[in-house]
Structure 1
Amino acid sequence: MKVKAFEWKGDRLFLLDQRRLPQEEVWLELTTYKQVAEAIKNMVVRGAPAIGCVAAYGFVLGVKSGEDHTVVYETLKNTRPTAYNLFWALDRMLKALKEGKDLEKEAISIEEEDLQANMRMGQIGAELLPDRVRILTHCNTGALATAGWGTALGVIRSAHYMGKEVFVWVDETRPYLQGSRLTAWELLKEDIPHKIITDSTAGFLMAKGLVDCVIVGADRITKRGDVANKIGTYSLSVLAKVHGIPFYVVAPTSTFDPNIAEGWQIPIEERSEDEVKSCGGCQIAPKGSQALHYAFDVTPAENITAIITEKGVLKPPL
């Protein structure tokens, strides 16, 4: 494994600034929970499992500094509204505090458990794939989005190391370009064959018979198996369904929200319109025009072939 998104050093947290990839590999040193909260909010770190792990370490920093644990909890919780792993990890840390457990050990356990879950999902998912497979993926779901290895990209990575002939179509994933900036960067490090495509190319590739399956991650999964993921995922699920292509979601059980029954109940983050109107710091739209930026969409369970978890494969609707 050659990629890591964060590293805990006992009294500080180091984050790989994903906003500056692939041009620069810059690590930020964080020593306060407020810095951690800002880093999550501003996309220094992203990907639901990684956000959960980082928030857990942020909770440790806040409580150890003598801050009111309720303030620390609420500050971190309010950074990103859609990624359920954030709330799951913080609730677990709060429970550990109330039970008198060692908070640092609890946060380390969250990280270690996520890595093990990723490795297990990778193995389970890879076994579902044929020996030669062309995969289309969206956003970034690799080591950068998790404690390591990855969810959807972890399946791809596992299949590659199993000796399967894997080729990856990488959606650029506008407007933040997590596909072209981050997924392609990870695939290069692993020497996995791939090509970057514009998001709007996916349907045409399917029509030409160049896609064997779609594999994506998830930020929140409802009780019936509806999935919130990076904006554009729903469109891919519709295209895959029309073309008879398997559509797989890969996520740890910590992404399942037992409090939400159906997809329409999931809170969807709406980010700044400036992220749509600019790209890489360059203005690409008229300043006077307005833009809408939903960061996520919801894929209904009926569009999903299977959800791959560390505990096995689920067939939605659940």
Structure 2
Amino acid sequence: MSIPLSIEWTNKKLRIINQQKLPLEVDYLTLETIEDVYDAIVTLKVRGAPAIGITAAYGLARAAQHYETNTLEEFYQHLEKDALYLGESRPTAVNLVWALDRLQRVAKDAATIQEAKELLLEEAIVIHKEDEASCRNIGEFALSLLENQTKVLTICNAGSIATAKYGTALAPFHLGSERGKRFEVFACETRPVFQGSRLTVWELQQSGVDVTLITDSMAAHTIGAKGIEAIIVGADRIVANGDTANKIGTLNLALLAAAYQIPFYVAAPSSTFDLTIENGKEIPIEERPSDEITHVAGKQVAPLNTKVFNPAFDVTPGKYITAIITEKGIIYPEYTKNIPALLGTEKGERS
């Protein structure tokens, strides 16, 4: 059994596992152009906030290698244009813009165009390596919280294939499997595009974790019937007061956790925090195509011309979150005070 990886960078080539084809086919794609990267992000061939950020970083760095400019000023103009282009691919996941901004800042330290190109590639690799180390740390902290809890519920896919390795919400299960700790994980299927059933179940099986699939609407019954002891989820954006955007259906689980009086944990790297936003009402929520709901596996399951509302994310208020697990430690309420205290950032800055 082994932990699957979503992103490979070898010989200056970017390969991703095509998550559209999982679990029936393990297919790696080579992304040659910035348009390939944009398409991979929009069509969910690569998904998960950290993995999106890493992929975009490599995509921007590779694109910059082909700029034909005479001055650094022109180089930076091309770089900014491409960064804006990639940044529009998924508006909710803050890691995307965070990674693109980070590359642009690093490039500004260059004295020559060639040095700028080298710095961009180096920084993309650093972001990739940092995320793997970050996810391992998140897993360690999560294991400490779940020390006496083995029956855990999750939604979507906040695992190895959504990050560099290990994942966020799934990191304790991968690390636990490596160390002989047995979890019994229940995974919501995660409608409308089934990231839970297609990706989380497959990934945990690869790692040797005991995992059971349920539909999203079975969560309330399952918590009571199976004795669920905790819920752990990932995040696409966490704002100053702890409000958290994550895959649609996450808020439902937070409310159920409160009703059943079990802990509800959010696991995310510090790059997922956006302290420029005061509360969750200000988070932009991506709406996706209607056919994700009206069709399943390409087959229409709803009447023609059905009106559809398809938000990709919802926002869980911080008051329902027991703790936020980061690579730097565990954050407890009061989040407005404790988030910047742990992350070492001041209010109004993006971490």
The answer to whether 1:82 aligns with 2:92 is yes
Query: 1:15, 1:45 within 8 Å by CA — same for their partners in 2?
Result: yes
Q: Which residue matches 2:229?
A: 212
Residue 19 of structure 1: SS of its match in structure 2? Answer: coil
Q: Corresponding residue for 1:116?
A: 133
Instruction: Give the CA deviation at 1:163.
Output: 2.8
Give, in angstroms, the shift of residue 209 of structure 1. 5.3
Q: Summarize the alignment of residues 296-307 of structure 1 with structure 2, pairs less than 5 Å apart.
A: 296-307=313-324
Whether the aligned pair in 2 keeps the contact of 1:93 and 1:106 (CA below 8 Å) is yes
Query: Is it true that 1:221 corresponds to 2:238 in the alignment?
Result: yes
Aligned to 1:41: 42
Q: CA RMSD in A?
A: 1.3
Compare 279-288 and 237-246 and name the one that shifted more.
279-288
Partner of residue 285, structure 1: 302
Report which stretch shifted further, 277-286 or 231-240.
277-286
CA distance in 2, matches of 1:158, 1:136: 17
Q: Number of matched residues?
A: 318
The answer to whether the 8 A contact 2:151-2:230 is kept is: yes
Question: What's the secondary structure of 2:20's corresponding residue?
Answer: helix
**Structure whose CA Rg is larger:** 2
The corresponding residue for 1:136 is: 153
* Residue 102 (structure 2) aligned to one of 92, 96, 99: 92
Q: State the Cα deviation string for residues 26-60 of structure 1 (Å, max 9, x = none).
A: 11111111110111111010000000000000111
Whether the 8 Å contact between 2:182 and 2:209 is mirrored in structure 1 is no
- Distance (whole Å) between structure 2 residues aligned to residue 264 and residue 159 of structure 1: 36
CA shift at 1:9, angstroms?
2.6
Partner SS state of residue 152, structure 1: coil
Q: Secondary structure at the match of 2:209?
A: coil
In the alignment, is the contact (CA less than 8 A) between 1:85 and 1:255 conserved in 2? yes
1:127-166 residue pairs with structure 2 within 5 A? 127-131=144-148, 133-166=150-183
Instruction: Give 1:207 deviation, angstroms.
Output: 2.9
Q: Is 1:56–1:89's contact at 8 Å kept on the other side of the alignment?
A: yes
Instruction: Note closer, same or farther for the CA distance 1:195–1:183 as it changes in structure 2 (3 Å cut).
Output: same
Tell me the distance in 1 between the aligned counterparts of 2:43 and 2:333. 33
Q: Would you say the 8 A contact 1:224–1:316 is kept in 2? A: no
- Describe the shift of the 1:286–1:26 C-alpha distance in structure 2 as closer, same or farther (beyond 3 A): same
Q: Distance in 2 between matches of 1:223 and 1:2?
A: 33
Question: Is residue 54 of structure 1 aligned with residue 39 of structure 2?
Answer: no
Instruction: Tell me, yes or no, if the aligned pair for 2:107 and 2:120 is still in contact at 8 Å.
Output: yes
Does the Cα contact within 8 Å between 2:169 and 2:232 map onto a contact in 1? yes
2:33 aligned partner, one-letter code: T
Distance 1:33 1:151 in 2: 27
Comparing 243-252 with 24-33, which one deviates more in the overlay?
Answer: 24-33
TM-score (norm. length: structure 1): 0.97
Please state how far the C-alpha of 1:15 moved relative to its aligned partner: 1.3
Structure 1: tracts of 5 or more residues without a match: none
Q: Which runs of 4+ in 1 moved over 6 A?
A: none
Give the structure 1 partner of residue 83 of structure 2. Answer: 73
Letter in 2 for 1:22: P
1:159 is displaced (CA, Å) by 2.8
The residue that corresponds to 1:189 in the other structure is: 206
Q: In the aligned structure 2, how far is the partner of 1:41 from the partner of 1:292?
A: 18
Shift of 1:131: 4.3
2:17 alignment counterpart: 16
**Deviation (angstroms), 1:62:** 1.4
2:217 partner letter:
S
2:182–2:210 Cα contact (<8 Å) kept: no
Residue 130 of structure 2: SS of its match in structure 1? Answer: helix
- 8 Å CA contact 2:154, 2:185 repeated in 1: yes
Q: CA deviation at 1:132?
A: 5.0
**Gap runs ≥5 in structure 2:** 69-77, 111-115, 336-351
Pick closer, same or farther for the CA change 1:160–1:243 going to 2, 3 Å: same
Distance 1:290 1:310 in 2: 42
1:20 alignment partner, SS class: coil
* Equivalent-residue separation in structure 1 for 2:223 and 2:23 (angstroms): 28
Q: Which residue of 2 aligns with 1:177?
A: 194
